[in-house]
Chains A and B, each alone.
Chain A
Amino acid sequence: MKTFKIINKFLVILAFSLGISACREGKIVPRTYEETVVESPLEKMTAKMDASSLPPGHPDISQMSQMASSTSSIDFKWIAPQGWTEKPGGGMRLVTFTANDSSPIECSIVSLGGMAGGLEANIRRWMGQINMPEIPEDQFNAFLQKQEEIKSEGGLTINLVDLTALQNKEPQEAPSMIAGILTIEDKTVFVKMTGTKKAVQEEKEHFRQLCQSLQLIHE
């Protein structure tokens, strides 16, 4: 029995020391590994273009964006509104804009294949994204009827969807969105600006300018 008692004590001590050793810190050495990233075909091609793009903050690089999207059969040209900073996109995202600090918005242009879910479905999804409650069908339809349709310089028809119109009761800091949708051949293009309600309303005019500046360039 005595031997067992000793063995028991030893085992208990062993258990403790194992536990303690787990807490000891090691030196900070990095792990290394090889990461393979398989991209969808469209992304792969545009990514190559991105590699030669300039760091953020460079003014008006619409030429670069043009090259970035030249791999898809549809090329766009646009003019960044005054005061907006342009950043090159990646993959389906053709470009991203930010405005200055006092009107914090983010605006991006995205090109998707096909119907991309349809107008209504996308609007409802966006409403969900900014936590807007669902509205009845007739109100929704009425809202859609009231939305603007603008023609850009390139002759493209863009349907604007201004969700701030449905947010009268929301505070100024509530997340909001305004989007422009155009369908060309078999692609759907979204121009989406998100930010606080106040900022979106403030930058709405710039947003319209951006949409109006959209032009197609065929190869």
Chain B
Amino acid sequence: MASVKIILACLVWLFILVFWGTVAQVDQGLYAAQKRFFYSYFFTVFGFIPLPGGQLTLWIMFINLVCAGLVHFVYKWSQIGILVIHLGLLSYFVAAFVTFHGIEESNLSLPEGEGSNVSSSYNEWELSIWPDAEESPRHVSAYDTNHFKENLRLNSTGSDFSIFVRKYFPNAEVLRGQDLTSLALNKEPEKNLPGGIFEIQTAGGQSIPFLLYGAASEATQIKIGQNRFDFALRRKRYPLPFTLTLQDFTMERYPGTETARSYQSKVKIEYDGISREVLIYMNNPLRYKDFTLYQSSYAIDEWGREISTLAVVKNAGRLLPYIASFITFFGLVVHFGIMGVLKSKSRK
């Protein structure tokens, strides 16, 4: 497991995988290609022949590196470069692991004047329920839709009714306001709009069916017994440890062109009773704890309001790749520097 031949085979296979995955992105889209080639342990060709995926290859490389470190590596000062390089590479593996399992990417779109303490997922959806009331904050119960299937029962917390999923399609179209058809999944997963037909069964035996669609701009209100609840099929919400309000959005273009030169959002961030104003613009994100908020894009809605979209990234391991880069680069410089000196000495 420590042999150089293994790492060589892995490097060659990784090379092939990277090339293949890159070309596959043209047809399958970035997201699908990433999932199939790089995030998987195995993937199949021609329907049934399995090939190792990116994750598996990287795991093998990691194990091989650890073993090689224990068995093969020569610990002499002349080899210090090599050692540092591979220590750096080890850090990459660690960084990749932490990031891959810990990162949460979402976004927050706010029209001027509005604010929120939750961000929205790019590709994942939830069925959210909250009691219909005026005061903010709402107490939301949300079910992630990735496990939805026919006749699945959703257990509710503390209410006297349950919800059944009768139909659910990750990409759907509404027919005549009453029924759903399933559509093929889009290459770009953000474009999928799900739809579902659900049924509430109350303790009193009442059965209320209703339809929810991902493109609905407002929640559906349903009265159950004495209480009124709001139901929505919307992109999964990630609670943030702060509330962000967009106070002003401005954009500048290059003169005489439509090319955007810069855009910026003036936001107010509130947490733990503290409130402050921050300017977020290209290459100047807002950082708070594990979160980083970037100016991502903007839009104008059908009423002519400006909407700023901020990318929200939660990543505890954000700085790990920086450390890994530094170590490895340092090792490379040292190693080739040493080699250069030694070789020129031998030449003379």
Contact = CB atoms under 8 A, between A and B. Distances in A.
Direct contact of A and B (CB under 8 A): yes
Interface of B: 1-2, 41, 55-56, 59-60, 63, 67, 70-71, 111-118, 126, 129-130, 132-134, 136-144, 147, 152-157, 176, 218, 221, 223, 237, 239, 243, 245, 300, 302-304
Given A4-B67, A19-B55, A38 B114 contact: yes
A33 B140 contact: yes
A36 B116 contact: yes
- 6 residue pairs, one from A and one from B, having the closest CB atoms: A40-B113, A38-B115, A8-B1, A30-B141, A34-B137, A33-B239
A12 B155 contact: no
A37 B116 contact: yes
Interface in A1-29: 4-5, 8, 11-12, 15-16, 19, 25, 27-29
Contact of B59 (A15, A34, A36): A15
B154 A28 contact: yes
Contacts, number: 116
A16 B55 CA distance: 11
12 contacts: A11-B63, A19-B41, A25-B147, A27-B155, A28-B154, A33-B239, A36-B116, A36-B136, A48-B134, A51-B132, A116-B303, A125-B304
Contacts of B143: 28, 30-31
Contacts of B113: 39-41, 43
A112 interface: yes
Given A4-B70, A15-B63, 7 more contacts: A8-B63, A12-B60, A32-B157, A33-B140, A35-B138, A37-B138, A38-B114
A34 B56 CA distance: 39
A110 B223 CA distance: 28
Contacts of A116: 303-304
Label chain A's interface by main secondary structure: mixed
Contact of B142 (A11, A30, A55): A30
Contacts of A15: 56, 59, 63
Contact of A36 (B1, B112, B142, B243): B243
Given A4-B71, A15-B59, A19-B55, A34 B140 contact: yes
Nearest to A129: B302
A172 interface: no
Contact of A8 (B67, B136, B300): B67
A174 interface: no
Nearest to B268: A38
B195 to A, nearest CB: 18
B233 to A, nearest CB: 14
A207 to B, nearest CB: 18
Contact of A35 (B67, B137, B218): B137
Interface in A115-132: 116-117, 122, 125, 129
Contacts of A19: 41, 55
Given A28-B153, A47-B134, A35 B118 contact: yes
B298 to A, nearest CB: 15
